[in-house]
Amino acid sequence: MPQEAAALKPRLVLVTGPSGAGRSTAIRALEDMGYEAIDNLPLSLLPRLLSGDVPDKPLALGVDARNRDFSANALIEAVDRMDGLSGVPMQVLFVDCSAEVLLRRYSETRRRHPLAPAESPEMGIAREFDLLVPIRARADILIDTSEMSPHDFRAELERWFAPQGRSHLAVTVHSFSYKRGLPRGLDMVLDCRFLRNPYWDRELRALDGRDGRVADYVGGDARFAAFRDKVIDLAMLLLPAYEAEGKAYLAIGFGCTGGQHRSVAMAETLAAALAEAGWPVSIRHRELERRGALDAPRGAARGRRGE
């Protein structure tokens, strides 16, 4: 199939995130890219919307906590149902932002938070963050707008979703714990449990694979270098082939026992190599996100083709 024709195949993007993070901006940007945009649709109507014929143009659906029937479980159940009903590739885009930046935005605009209309915006932001934790962990793509201008944000969206451009393939690299099962939507899974485990070193146990000491410990395994090189070589072989076939995104997962040390170190290693080669790449550390161990979301693309 020609690359341009494949890139224009209909698909669905479900856009959500905390109020004030940029969800509405994302919906408008996707509409400008040719998506049919529907904002603030009740969750109960989502399966009905997609139960008919396959749409002839891509869809962008905005869902947020203002919906009368909104809940994290309801949204996740709707996503599961849509996977079976839509007949088109689907992605969940989570537009995130730090609490400090959200509070500043509310203070500057003097708007009331939808979840705390009679209280301070701080209360509403905290409630919404708690409400969205399961959805954030479930998202396919996470973009943090805390330090982005509106122009930067739109450019980021175009790199992920524009139907035309030099590169159509964006990569997400996940780390996870096998105890909690595989993350949703992985295309390729690699098991890191054969590498030596920093958990058994008391000085490293509380750290994670982003720490240089943990990365050095994992890298000290005699099998690590060959594994790393073969994984990177495999990715560099497959990504251009997937792109030539018109695939829009690829999710690669690294699993280990706890999802804290070995899988995180390997995810960081591969993401750095792909970014250096110019591929748009996003990192998701599922178990670290669940524990709130990340200093900041790592959802923005780290590499740009042709730059």
210 in any annotated domain: yes
pLDDT (0 to 100) of residue 159: 79
Residues 32 and 150 grouped into a single domain: yes
305 in any annotated domain: no
303 in any annotated domain: no
Residues 152 and 174 grouped into a single domain: no
Domain boundary among 161, 190, 213: 161
Residues 147 and 176 grouped into a single domain: no
Residues 174 and 256 grouped into a single domain: yes
Four-residue CA torsion sign, 73, 267, 299, 211:
positive
pLDDT (0 to 100) of residue 9: 45
Domain boundary among 161, 190, 206: 161
Domain boundary among 129, 161, 193: 161
88 in any annotated domain: yes
Residues 279 and 226 grouped into a single domain: yes
pLDDT (0 to 100) of residue 198: 96
Residues 84 and 209 grouped into a single domain: no
306 in any annotated domain: no
What are the tokens at 211?
A: 């720490």
What whole-number distance in Å separates Cα of residue 52 and Cα of residue 50?
6
Residues 151 and 274 grouped into a single domain: no
42 in any annotated domain: yes
**Residue 188 and residue 247 in contact, taking contact as beta carbons nearer than 8 Å:** no
Residues 117 and 188 grouped into a single domain: no
Q: How many domains does the chain have?
A: 2
The CATH number that applies at residue 71 is 3.40.50.300
Strands 170-177, 59-62: pairing kind: unpaired
pLDDT (0 to 100) of residue 154: 83
298 in any annotated domain: no
Question: 3-state class of 31 per DSSP?
Answer: helix
In sequence order, which residues have a C-beta less than 8 Å from that of residue 233 and are 6 or more positions away? none
Residues 111 and 181 grouped into a single domain: no
Residues 212 and 181 grouped into a single domain: yes
pLDDT (0 to 100) of residue 53: 64
296 in any annotated domain: no
Residues 261 and 128 grouped into a single domain: no
**Residue 177 and residue 256 in contact, taking contact as beta carbons nearer than 8 Å:** yes
Residues 37 and 129 grouped into a single domain: yes
* Centroid of chain to Cα 17: 12
pLDDT (0 to 100) of residue 10: 46
What whole-number distance in Å separates Cα of residue 105 and Cα of residue 52?
40
Domain containing residue 211: 170-290
- pTM for this entry: 0.56
Give the amino acid at 92. Answer: V
Give mean pLDDT in consecutive 10-residue pieces for the chain, a chain of 307 residues: 38 87 90 84 72 72 74 74 63 90 83 78 85 85 89 82 62 94 90 97 95 96 97 95 78 96 97 91 89 51 40
